[in-house]
Amino acid sequence: MADETLRIYVENSRERDPAYRITEEAVRRALSPVALPAIIDVRYGDERDERAIRAAHVFVAGRLDMGMLSAWGERLRIVHCTSAGVESYMPLDWLPPGAVLTNSSGVHAAKAGEFGLLAVLMLHQGIPAYATLQRQHRWQRSLSSTIAGRKVLLYGVGALGGAVAERLRPLGLDIVGVRRSGEPHPAVGRTIRPDRLADELADTDFLILACPLTPETKGAIGRAELAALKPGASVVNMARAAVMDYDALAGLLVERHLSGAILDVFDREPLPETSPLWDVPNLFITPHVSADDPHGYVDRCLAILAENLARQADGLPLRNVVDGRHGY
């Protein structure tokens, strides 16, 4: 890149909510603290400029066209994805040589932390069950005590899971984190590796999924794991649908082994009107709203990019680099 002016190409999608549109002004605003002059192209995906992409050092988009990037990305150094989940881009064999893929993991943290807090309080106070009873016009009290002392099993303690733990901690919960690295986290009482999961299920009150979707996490919470949870336990999925077996979950809710569930993510989104999940008792459905926060979203994504450009200029290691071996 050396003495060349930095060239940044941004691709927006017309289908996406305008709140997520990246403007040239937003990019300039993000770059201003790092004082990097740049030529910035901002276009929609349906009006691609091959020449500009072939000249670009940095490509930014919410959804990546891997074939196109592989063909035209000869000068790319950074492909920055404005989402956190990158499972659909694995393996990274399409990535131009010399380029890294960076994601926006972390931009969802504040919102996701509040959603996790809400979800656990909802489960503890039986809200999914009250929603089911309301559909039937049934008044049936089930008194809960305060939440302190209950055990949360937090599957995934990255940006999302960590933010959830930080919000839950003041409630006096016993939080056990499941982490590939097994590394401790300041907001989590105890961390285990995934291979010790089975030991933790029988006394878990609330299981929260907040992991990326990777070959390792796919199907990790199957029928056996759900059935091994403490009777009356409940679950939240704010990760990806493929991490959990929803058929098994529905069965265990019907049988009342589990007392409630909140699902925010589905194999097909929007969840089709005909899905049987809508009517599963004590299952509360939210339409993939656990993490997205349009307010300041673009700025937070671009701040990660700007920081990386500054690091690159200084020869420092980049942050949020996706690791093809782990899939996130």
State the residues that interact with its own copies by CB under 8 A: 17, 19, 110-111, 114-115, 117-118, 121-122, 125-127, 130-131, 133-135, 137-147, 170-171, 269-271, 273-275, 278, 284-289, 292-296
Q: Is 269 a catalytic residue?
A: yes
The answer to whether 7 touches 55, Cβ cutoff 8 Å, is yes
Q: How far apart are CA 226 and CA 234, in angstroms?
A: 9
Q: Is 288 a catalytic residue?
A: yes
Catalytic residue among 269, 295, 319, 326: 269
Q: How far is the CB of 259 from its own copies (least distance, A)?
A: 14
**3-state secondary structure labels for all residues of 261-272:** EEECCCCCCCCC
CB nearer to its own copies: pick between 89 and 130: 130
- 3-state DSSP call for residue 284? strand
CB nearer to its own copies: pick between 222 and 281: 281
Q: How far is the CB of 178 from its own copies (least distance, A)?
A: 25
CB nearer to its own copies: pick between 46 and 274: 274
Catalytic residue among 108, 240, 300, 307: 240
| C-alpha separations of 325 from 93, 214, 220 in Å | 11, 10, 18
Give 109-127 as a DSSP string: HHHHHHHHHHHHHHHHTTH
Give 125-193 as a DSSP string: TTHHHHHHHHHTT----------TT-EEEEE--SHHHHHHHHHHGGGT-EEEEE-SS----TT-SEEE-
The answer to whether 270 touches 287, Cβ cutoff 8 Å, is yes
Q: What residues contact residue 28 under an 8 Å CB cut-off, 6+ apart?
A: 38, 40
CB nearer to its own copies: pick between 37 and 270: 270
Q: How far is the CB of 106 from its own copies (least distance, A)?
A: 14
Q: How far is the CB of 207 from its own copies (least distance, A)?
A: 19
CB nearer to its own copies: pick between 186 and 270: 270
Q: How far is the CB of 161 from its own copies (least distance, A)?
A: 17
Q: Is 240 a catalytic residue?
A: yes
**Residues labelled as active-site residues:** 240, 269, 288
